[in-house]
Amino acid sequence: MRRKDLKISSTEEIEAIIKQSNVCRLGLCDGDTPYVVPLNFGYEDGKFYFHSAAAGRKVDLLKANPKVCLEFDMELGLIKHEKACNWGFRYRSVIVTGHATVLNGLEEKVQAFNIIMKNYSDKDYTFPEKVVGNTFVFVVDAQEISGKQTDESTIVD
């Protein structure tokens, strides 16, 4: 990171950003073309859990190349300025690079579903075996995590 003064080093702060995010953006490689898709997610014990339809571009790309990038952010407000080029946005963000592993077992998929639902609800759910069996589920193990925050000090006059 070029601006070390914007770096978030605290693991607790990074986890707080992840836990306050409702959407994760998943970055994949499609040959030499990047592909990003917003997803619901679950987070527990340093691992990120996702589900999707069993077929499609995202599934094909993950199977071909399990290296991924995740992005989480919190919007904190618009920065207004007299100079147009100094307008900006205050935010806190986390970038994760990692490796995706497909989950195939019924029990591990149900566990992933429960972790995902804990991110959005306190309620306990049951999942029909047929639905679980037909859903593509994967977990991302983080290899590198970095955090960044911006504020009015990012403006250079």
Q: What number is the average pLDDT over the span 39-51?
A: 95
Q: Which pLDDT does position 73 carry in this prediction?
A: 85
Contact 132/86 with Cβ under 8 angstroms? no
Q: Which residues pair with 100 in a beta bridge?
A: 140
> Given a cut of 80, is residue 44 above it in pLDDT?
yes
Q: Which pLDDT does position 43 carry in this prediction?
A: 95
List alpha helices for the chain, DSSP H: 11-20, 57-64, 106-118, 129-133
pTM score: 0.86
Q: Which pLDDT does position 152 carry in this prediction?
A: 54
For residue 57, CA distances in Å to 23, 47, 48, 81, 82 come to 19, 23, 20, 41, 44
Q: What is the pLDDT of residues 63-77, one digit of tens each?
A: 999 999 999 987 666
Q: Which pLDDT does position 116 carry in this prediction?
A: 96
Q: Nearest Cα to 136, choosing from 99, 101, 102?
A: 102
Q: What is the pLDDT of residues 84-128, one digit of tens each?
A: 766 666 668 899 999 999 999 999 999 999 999 999 998 989 999
Q: Which pLDDT does position 86 carry in this prediction?
A: 66
Q: Calculate the dihedral angle through the C-alpha atoms of 146, 114, 61, 143, rounding to the nearest 10 degrees.
A: 30
Q: Which residues make Cβ contacts (< 8 Å) with residue 43, sequence separation at least 6? A: 15, 18, 19, 49, 115, 119
